[in-house]
Amino acid sequence: MNILQKAVTTSVKTIPRNGFMRHSSHFVYQPDAKPPVEGPTQKMNMFQAINQAMDIALEQNESALVFGEDVAFGGVFRCSMGLQKKYGKQRVFNTPLCEQGIAGFAIGVANTGAKAIAEMQFADYIFPAFDQIVNEAAKYRYRSGNLYDCGSLTFRAPCGAVGHGACYHSQSPEAYFAHTPGLKVVVPRGPNKAKGLLLACVNDNDPCIVFEPKTLYRAAVEEVPVAAFESPIGKADVLRVGTDVTLVGWGTQVHVLQEVANMAKKQLDVSCEVIDLVSILPWDKETICNSVKKTGRVLIAHEAPLTNGFGAELAATIQEECFLHLESPVLRVTGWDTPFPHVFEPFYIPDKHRCLAGIRKLIDF
């Protein structure tokens, strides 16, 4: 058996009645302990929570529009399902297969004061729209002397590993946009955050990008408040309090780190503090630095490649702000500096075993 056959064998498991099923989950989903606000809740997965958020936005704002490739019938991930039927073809509609055109139209719509919710079918497809987002949307307010702006503009983009996406359906491009003043960039970890962040972005005065980890659309299930609510942009969440090591991630990686924290306590007797960064731009320096000053050690994990990933910005800031408190160098556990692979995905992602090895390295330094 050659190495390719071994890789394929390790990524599938036999199901007697159904043949073969891709074994893609590298994490155990950890739902939030309680809803973010009081009131009636409903059990939802993440795509249902996103659907409800867009429903609320369309209902509350007569100018709100939802558009993108295939959104009229619900989109490839069903996030906009039923919205065209409820609000009509003038407010929920398909666009041509042209990301640059989608972004340009969204900027124009938002500039008139309408609420524009534009879907990029995959985050990997957002690059043709890069110029429109970075050079037009992000700079509109600045270059017009605050006469015009693209507030109320929100881009949604499914991102991250999914088990079979390969190089064109698995990327995590948040770092590209984090280098752009004028944008806001967030990544939800589950249904409650997805709903709250999307509504916050829709009502924000700056253009926003919501990168939605696609593997969580159905895997993430929580009790979600039925009413409208917003999650703050720029505020990290401390999900687990610890004393020895700070673990920082966002999106799907948060659930990997929560499992790793349990493993570290059981196997190494190490107490880990787990933080969901939530917001990439702006990011919560105070929460991160306060945690690192307390623990003295920090591991940052993300699916994007190591070089110039957003973890590098965190590491630089921690070194500047927390240097005299550090017991070991800042450690990053990330994707490799290669295109995202297909059958080798299990070896690419920063799974719990690589993260636990990183904690050992920090403790043994």
Active-site annotation, residues: 99, 169
CA dist 7 and 238 (Å) reads 36
| Residue ranges of E strands in the chain | 12-15, 19-22, 41-45, 65-68, 92-94, 116-119, 153-159, 184-186, 208-213, 221-225, 237-240, 245-249, 272-276, 279-281, 298-305, 331-335
Q: Which of 98, 115, 113 is nearest to 155 (CA)?
A: 115
**CA dihedral sign of residues 335, 339, 340, 342:** negative
Residues paired with residue 300 on neighbouring β-strands, in sequence order? 248, 332
CA dist 295 and 112 (Å) reads 49
CA dist 197 and 206 (Å) reads 14
Q: Is 34 exposed, middle or buried (0-12, 13-18, 19+ CB in 10 A)?
A: exposed
Phi, psi (deg, nearest 5) at residue 181: -60, 140
Grouping H, G, I as helix, E, B as strand and the rest as coil, residue 129 is: helix
Specify the pairing of strand 298-305 against strand 331-335: parallel
Grouping H, G, I as helix, E, B as strand and the rest as coil, residue 329 is: coil
What's the CA angle centered on 59, arms 57 and 64, to 5 degrees? Answer: 55
CA dist 214 and 126 (Å) reads 15
Q: Which residues of 43-82 are buried (b: 16+ CB within 10 A; e: fewer)?
A: ebbbbbbbbbbbbbbbeeeeebbbbbbebbebbebbbbee
Specify the pairing of strand 65-68 against strand 116-119: parallel
